[in-house]
Amino acid sequence: MHKIKLPVGTLLLSLLSAITACDAPSGGDFDASLEPVASSAQALSHNWSASFREPFSYQEPQQVAVDGSGNVIIAGYYGVSVNFGGSTLTTSAFTAGFVAAFSSAGIHLWSKSIDSLDIFGVAVDSSDNVIITGLMYDDTDFGGGTVTNSSSLGSSMFVAKFDSSGTHLWSSSFGDGAYAAGQEIAVDSSDNVLVIGRYYDDLTIGSDSNSISGGCGGVLAKFNSSGVPLFARFFESSNPSNGVYGNGIAVDPSDDSIAITGAFKSTVDFGGGPLTSNTSGAQYDALVAKYDSSGNELWSSSFGAGETWGNHVAIDSSGDIIVSGYFKGSVDFGSNTSTLTNLGTISTYVAKFDDGGTDLWSMHFGNAKTWYHGLALNSADDVLLTGSFSNSVNFGGGMFTPTGGDDAFFAQWDTTGGYVDSASYGTWGWQGVTAVAVDSSDNTVLLGAFDGSVDFGGGWLPNQGDDTFALDTFLAHLSP
């Protein structure tokens, strides 16, 4: 989920237009300010789990990463206050970003608050440095002095880096127009930083710039380990009223090639010539594209016969590319796989391609709203998917039925798409796993939000439930 919140005092028409243009259509994002977590079919063994919240506040957990020492880093944004085990973080801004680190045993190491921004992506490099991206609404200080919101009308994209103790190393902002945001972030084998994002109006990153009007544009940007821009690639639709949404990014450590996913409508040139969407009207196609380490397009593909989105992407040790997303209607990923037909309102899909873009296998599930929120791979290249579901769903090991509202899920398949494991977590209300990460010992870390209470195998985690902002953040560390 990448939900956009409007900063108080900046409700300008141009900003509203920009946010509308670059926000996903209804049904395309997970909204963490939804509703209510118990569990069934515990598939993984509990190591530790915790929940976090302060009274009369809210948090929106976005991403989780694990460093080389097994420490867990989470990031997102909040309002009023939050406590992750150290000092209580507070903000007087409309919203503030948070980053928190925990040891492999779940002990709080450090946490920090950064005013006037939303953090959407977090990654770690080979030295266990922490890098974040998202959008900033106002000038702010990441720890090294004021960074200016360079957008005169709305929000700027930011990238910031901290060492393993949370000490600021560098930070930058980018955004000449009404809106810019980094959606996800990745690091290559040389600790260069890759960001996929969205923008509206004008955007300059280093020596590269672009200007669009009407719709949302996508951007792929690369920075060296010191934050110096290396290149930016901009993507815009041939129809000014349509958009290009950059959602997910991954890097192949064997050659530092880059895979991205998202959605677009009309015709877009991702670097190798025009690519035209298959769907018509107001619906979008999913996109998957691959680039070399210098940002040159290797191939790009689109998929969809109805509304289809790509939201997360991963690359395994063989260079194969795994994409997850959702679709309505039907979708065909290539000649080697069968056409998938929606089972209800919205279905989730997982599709695998080789390094040249040829489809290997695909699957779908969910006969109502089944949302994927996280995608990761373990050391065996098994695919791990997390999210929430609101009606009965079978990931391959038997039917799960929600206990009330939406339940959270975890599911795992091997390299051929064969079922390995799954679990659901839910009581009444709403609960969802927003992000997943795997450490070097194949422990699985789940980050999410819930109402009610939730048990990952170590006892019930209660929700404070003391006000209308009823969602708490949970973090669970599980072993296979």
The residues that bridge with 460 in the sheet, in sequence order, are 455
CA 95/CA 104 separation, integer angstroms: 29
Q: Which residue do the tokens 């999210």 mark? A: 387
pLDDT at position 305, please? 81
Q: Spell out the domain ranges in the chain.
A: 13-479
Residue 131: name the closest of 95, 99, 85, 157 by CA.
99
Q: If you compute the radius of gyration of the chain from its CA atoms, what whole number of angstroms results?
A: 20
d(CA 292, CA 152): 34
Q: What architecture does CATH give domain 13-479?
A: 6 Propeller (2.120)
Encoding tokens for residue 331? 């979708």
Measured between alpha carbons, how far is 465 from 430 in angstroms, rounded to an integer? 13
Written as one letter, the residue type at 276 is T
Between the two ends of the chain, the Cα-to-Cα distance in Å is 26
| Buried/exposed 129-152: b ≥16 CB within 10 Å, e otherwise | bbbbbbbbbbebebeeeebebbbe
Contacts of 20 (CB under 8 A, 6+ apart): none
Q: Which two tokens stand for residue 161?
A: 């880096």
Closest alpha carbon to 473 in 52, 176, 19, 136: 52
Helix-strand-coil split of the chain, %, nearest 5: 0, 50, 45
Query: Which pLDDT score, from 0 to 100, does residue 346 have?
Result: 82
Three-state secondary structure along 370-382? Answer: EEEEEEEECCCCC
pLDDT of residue 466: 57
Per-residue confidence in pLDDT tens, the chain, 480 aa: 333 333 333 333 444 455 556 776 533 333 322 222 334 444 699 999 999 988 888 899 999 999 999 999 999 999 999 999 999 999 999 999 999 999 999 999 999 999 999 999 999 999 999 999 999 999 999 999 999 998 867 899 999 999 999 999 999 999 988 899 999 999 999 999 999 999 998 999 999 999 998 789 999 999 999 999 999 999 999 988 889 999 999 999 999 999 999 999 999 999 999 999 886 667 899 999 999 999 999 999 999 888 999 999 999 999 999 999 999 989 999 988 999 998 777 889 999 999 999 999 999 987 666 676 899 999 999 999 999 988 888 999 999 988 877 889 999 999 999 999 999 997 777 789 999 999 999 999 999 999 877 889 999 887 776 555 568 999 999 999
The structure tokens listed for 397 are 């090991």
Q: Write the CA distances from 385 to 7, 51, 60, integer angstroms.
A: 32, 21, 19
- Look at residues 322, 249, 230, 285 and name the one whose alpha carbon lies nearest to residue 28: 285
Around Cβ 54, how many Cβ atoms within 10 Å?
A: 20
Which pLDDT score is estimated for 177?
84
CB 130 within 8 A of CB 66: no
Tokens 């995608």: give the residue: 375
Cα dihedral 224, 141, 119, 322 in deg (nearest 10): 10
- In this structure, the number of other CB atoms found within 10 A of the CB of residue 126 comes to 13
Q: Give CA 55 to chain center in angstroms.
A: 27
- C-beta separation of 193 from 131 below 8 A: yes
Q: CA-CA distance, 310 to 305, in Å (whole number)?
A: 14
From CA 413, how far away is CA 25, in angstroms rounded? 29
Give Cα 133 distance to the centre of its chain.
11
**Tokens representing 206?**
């280093």
Report the amino acid identity of residue 464.
Q
Cβ pair 40, 427 in contact under 8 A: no
